[in-house]
Every structure is written in C-alpha cells, then in structure tokens.
Structure 1
Amino acid sequence: MATIALAATDGMLHFELAMACEVFVRDPSGLADPWYDLVVCGPGPVRVGAFRVEPDDGLDRLAHADTVIIPAVDDIDADVPPDLLDAVRAAHQAGARMVSLCTGAFVLAAAGVLDGLRATTHWAHTEALAARYPRVTVDPDVLYVDNGTVLASAGKAAAIDLCLHLIRRDHGSTVANAVARRLVVPPHRAGGQAQFVTTPVPARDDHPLAHLFPWAMERLDCPLTVEDLARQANMSSRNLARHFRAVAGTTPLQWLSTQRIRRAQELLENTDTSIDVIAQAAGMGTATTLRRHFHRTVGVSPDAYRRTFRRPGPASGS
C-alpha cells in the first residue's frame, strides 16, 4: 500500500492539512486497490491553526513514506523547525515523492528540495519565494507544478487540484473523478491554468458560457474551432476569449484540449475501443495526433495509460 506522510508542525494552516486528510483517507469509487495509507507525522501534539493535532507518528516516518505532503505554513518569515527540515531532506534523499501545498513550498525550498526546479505557491507570496530562493524557478501564474517527483501547488483550491492530480497519476481519471464528486469540486483543472480569474465563477449557471460548455461537450468528436464556439455563443472570438478567461481561467482552445484528453482517458480506462476510434471520439482525428497530445499532457502514451488504468468490466467493441 502506498504510504502518504502528512507533515504537521506548529504554525501550519489547518485547511490544507485537513483537506489532504479528506482527499486521501478513502477511495469512494471502490476501484483503487490498494488505496493509500495516510499517516500524519509530527514532533508531538501540535497547534495547527485553531486546532490541536495528535500525529500518528514522528517526523522520522517521512523518510519511510512513498509520498510526503507539506501543508501550508501560516508565517512564511518564521524559521522552519530544524527537525522538519532534517526530516524533509531525509525523505527526499530516500526517494519519496515530495509535495507542497500553498506556502508549504517555503519548507521544500528551505530544505533545498526545489533547487533547480519549477515551483509555485500562493500568488501573494510568489515574489517572496523567488527573492528568498533564487535557485528555484517560481511560476506565479499556475495552479500547480509537476516535476515528476517534486510537486507544488498554489493556494487553497489549487491544493485540492494538485491532490486530485496525484490520484489521477496513481489510479487514473475514473477514480480521481469519483473523489472529486465526493468533494463536490471540478474533476480536473490543468496545472497550467491561472491561479485566479478576474471574475469569480457564478454560483448559478447564468454566466454567458453556461449553455456553451454542455453544447461543446456533446460535440467533442467534431472538429470544433474557436470560431465555432464563438458562433454558438453568439459573440465575437475576442469576446469569447475574454469570457473564457473570466469564467474558466483559460483559453477556449486550452479548455477544449483538456476536455478531449479527459474523454480519451475515460475511454481508455473503461473500454477496449481501439486507439483509432478513441482518437475520433475525442476529436483528435487520428491515433498519431492523439498519441502526441496525450503524451505531452499526461506524460505517457495512451497504450501505457490503458495498461495502467484499464478497469475490469464489459468491453465495448472496437
């Protein structure tokens, strides 16, 4: 069973710590076997936000975990506890996957884990992170960064996005979507999206793109263009781009590409349909095009993804 060690020390914020516990505590889909073994690690009883937390084990347990998660710290100017720094370095040297949530990036940076890598943190603190740790390439405009074995998220909601991204990497899109449904959050926001949008997403489906999204989702197998989307939304391409940035935090083509990759993932996981047919169903046209975009986005080929995440069950014809 893959072990996730969640660091807990005085001065950390309770939201990210509690959120990580909620995300990784159980598999609501029943499809991932084995699921994660989540362990909260700390030097003893600690004060996390307004709560007192009793860790399951000591910080030395981090070095024996498969994944180590560092939640947000309240004061980025406070010295990182030496025992936490030592434990983080030991875990990194032992080969653990290292993950920071929000201002937890300051802990990874202080330990040297982020040296030479891209990283992000809450947008209000990206300048401080870049100034304090010049060997870290800080990207202030993304939700999260995945360097393979070292990952970092922006603040709050982006931390949930990164946790779902980890589940997607480990167990596939179907399981990640099931967790997202339990949390009542969007199933997939790509890491390259903007940290925040100029206009909040409306609570009700009365924004200008409310009817466009389902219309496009029903036509992913069609060669849709920005002009097609603009025409359906009854607005100019420039106005469409502005609304997409405000509502979805991305461009129309990036949003469309993300939905097509998600459709391909679902078909790879849940059917035996050929790669050629999946490419057409996802609007990629040919298997070659699908393989190129899929590998660039997901990091593996469609065939490798299917071998890893194919779900047992009735197969559809190819």
Structure 2
Amino acid sequence: MYVFKRVSFRIAFAAVSLAALIVFAAGCGSTGQGKLVEGKLNVVTSFYPLYFLAEQIGGKDANVINMIPAGVEPHDWTPKSRDLDTVSKAQLFLYNGAGLEGWVNDFLQGLPRDSKLVTVEVSKDIPKISGNPEDEDDHPDEGHVDPHTWVSPKSMMVMAKLVLANFIAADPEHKASYETGYNALEQKLSALDKEYSDKLSGVKKKDIVTSHQAFGYLARDYGLKQVAIMGLSPDAEPKAQDLLNITKFVKENDIKYIFFEELVSDEIARTLAREARIQTLVLNPLEGLTPKEASNGDDYFSLMEKNLQNLVLALQ
C-alpha cells in the first residue's frame, strides 16, 4: 500500500467543498433474496460474493438467501427483525468478517437460544491487510483491517474451500454434489487466477489509483500498488490535502487513468481526472450486482474479467 507524505502546494480545486462531492449513489447487493425451503440446506449469506460461492457449490441441494438486496451498500446496511427470523431458521450463515459487517456480533446475540444455526466467518483463513493507521483522522475505518478479501481470485479460492467444508459438515448426505460444484468453481477460479497472474506480470506500470481502498488483496496477490482516494469504507471522506497529494502522485508517475466504482459517486475521481488531464475507468469491487448487471447475467467471473481488461489497459 502506498503511504502518502503530506506536501504543501496550491491547486485550483483545493477549495472545493468535499461535503458537496461525497454524495454516494445506491450501492451493492444481489437478486438472491428468498424464502426458506423445507428439505434443502438453507444457507443465508451476508452479501453478493458469498451468495455467489454458496450458489456455485450448493447447486440444487442448497437454498441460498442473500440478506442484502440490490441497490444497498453493504458497508452501511443493517439487518431488520425479519432478517433475524430468517437466519435463525437456517442451517448456515455465511458472513465475510474482517469488519465488513459491523452489525454481525449484535445480530447473532439476538438469535433464539434453541437456534441450531452454524455461523461461518468466510475470510478467517486469509492473512489480512491492515488499513492505514496514520490516516485514522481522515479514514476512521474500524480496526484498520481491509475486509475486501473477495476481490482477489486467490482469496476466493481459499474462501470457497471453507464454504465447501461447512456445506459438507451441515449436510453430509449431499457431500458428492457439493464437491462436484466446488470442483467446477475451483477450476474456474484457478483459471482466472492464472489469467490475472499472466497478464498483470507483463504490464509496464504497477500503480493503480482508485476511488475506494478496496483492492489491497488484488494488489498484494498480483504485484500492484494501490493508491486510494478514500478509505476502506466508500463513504470515508478524504481531506483536501489527500486530494492534492494524489494529484501530485498522478502527475509525477505518469498515471493515465483513475479508477472509479459504478455503485458510488464518481464525482471526486472525475474531478481529479479533469485536473490531471487523464481519463477514468471502472474497477468493480464486486460488493454486489447492480440491477443492470443482474439483468445482463453478469456474475463474479464476468465482472472480474472486465476488471482485468481495464487494469491491463491502464497499466500499459
């Protein structure tokens, strides 16, 4: 992770009101919400990447319900009483952990005493990346741990293995079916990992400037350096000096593109791009599908392929 040193220089947009710029649009989710089904392994997931893993592995023998609906930012979402009722009657609850779901501890304490729910922190086997403690005043991210593990195919392979183990433990009768689903998923993730490794090892540049500090695991696993405008949460507000430092970095390192997300406001990224006279590209943190992506049939793999195409373009 690139750590900025405070510098002093003047720039035209330094006086721009950050409060006016930090206006975020609807965020991430999935179309996977549903009801419990008798006779199947009922699995509830906290957000889209885990829903995707569970669906791929569970196949016809699992009923997977995603808690966060389309159009909702998972960093800010909090569950309702009906969510607690659904989860309490399921067999498995998959959540990311690493601080992504700030509500999870209180939520689980509200479960009925007779609930047989098994809870799984799916990111627990992945070595975590710390945030920037030096930026605590600027980006007060809880625990300074980066929760965005799923953005790296390498991490998704680790997470998929843990999901498989818990599916088998909860429903050993369908072990063979779950293993079949997992093997197909693992082959695709392995191929995606190889494609990322092969293509990103050949690019000339290694620095990516992003609107949201969501790509640390991808950067770590594939030899890149992430320079983020905002913190681990997409609504962490940067100070004017942060923007000045990033603009200076962009100019001094011949950065050609600034990456932004479709699910949050791109105003700051575009302001920086205009000031530096460069372009913007999408880099999707895959926290959920937009309604358009869902209707187009996009999923984790198609969006990660688009991410790779944009990374290669930006880093030539």
TM more than 0.5:
no
**Could you say which TM-score interval applies, normalised by the shorter chain?**
under 0.3
TM-score by length of 1: 0.25
TM-score by length of 2: 0.26
